[in-house]
Amino acid sequence: MAIKPSCLSPHQIEAVLKRSGINPTAQRIAICRFVLCDAEHPSAEDVKVWVDQNFPKMSLATVYNTLKILVEAGLLRELRLPHSEAVLYDNNLNAHYHFLDEETGELLDVDPVDVRLEPALSEAYQIHSVEVLLRGTRNPA
Amino acid sequence: MAIKPSCLSPHQIEAVLKRSGINPTAQRIAICRFVLCDAEHPSAEDVKVWVDQNFPKMSLATVYNTLKILVEAGLLRELRLPHSEAVLYDNNLNAHYHFLDEETGELLDVDPVDVRLEPALSEAYQIHSVEVLLRGTRNPA
DNA sequence: ATTAGTGCAAAGGATTTGCATAAAG
DNA sequence: CTTTATGCAAATCCTTTGCACTAAT
């Protein structure tokens, strides 16, 4: 429903990191390969699992450090959702909402256009941002 | 913007608990006095602070146990919001959304009517519930 | 040499758990 | 007596921190 950023090559990742003022170490590039591309709302633990298979010996602290750096650089967004204890990381930088499939646990991006939300609060309220979580199920096509 | 449940007397609380199949112990009634009435989205820690002044010697475990029981009984709802590590407890049982005042940290209830949200997803998506968090600031009247 | 980045293990906060004691019927 | 609730401390989960070590200028 929303457009996912297309995958980046390691070379492109390096460029992205540099452009954001982040020193593109091997560890950081590795994490980005997962977290900026393939991953779908991974937790730090998910990242660690991937990393263990693709970049042995990386420490959990480095995973957390890198994720924090990426968030601070605006390349990733933190997602704290009610159904999960852990923080999830979102590589979709477009404004969007989320749909949680309660049967599968899948978390899908939702285009705000499809939600038609028009706050009509008193003028005393100035809204800076809106977060929406839809919970439900999907029919098999 | 939304109607808060009116406060209950200890006697009424006892009745409410019994009706929900909860043994109305002194500790539980005490917690309910705060959490079903005066409290505004308290965390377990907030509850503990209140309890320490109004029911000395109650253990933190009892606070957590009781909150869990109240949630399971449907007398309270859990609220996990992005701005707070801790779970907050909501005694407003009506469907509602939230507004977070980013200046004061205050969390206000918002009537869904004031948000005008009409999801228009494909029919494959069946929505069971909607959570909305508005972030912003309020003008001084 | 200096600086930045990494790994490891310990610490931290929020919540849960296990178990012995206390309260209630 | 028997059951249930409570208190306390230890354990757990996720995340951060401190610090020594390595890598790269």
3-state helix/strand/coil string of chain A: CCCCCCCCCHHHHHHHHHHCCCCCCHHHHHHHHHHHHHCCCCEHHHHHHHHHHHCCCCCHHHHHHHHHHHHHCCCCEEECCCCCCCCEEECCCCCCEEEEECCCCCEEEECHHHCCECCCCCCCEEEEEEEEEEEEEECCC
Number of C-beta neighbours around residue B26 at 10 A: 10
pTM of this structure: 0.92
- What tens digit of pLDDT does each residue of B11-42 get? 999 999 999 999 999 999 999 999 999 899 99
- What tens digit of pLDDT does each residue of A82-136 get? 999 999 999 999 999 999 999 999 999 999 999 899 988 888 999 999 999 999 9
Q: Which residues of A touch B134 (CB under 8 A)?
A: 119, 121, 125, 127, 129-130
Q: Which residues of B touch A (CB under 8 A)?
A: 1, 78-82, 99, 102, 110, 114-121, 123-139, 141
B132 touches strand C (CB under 7 A): no
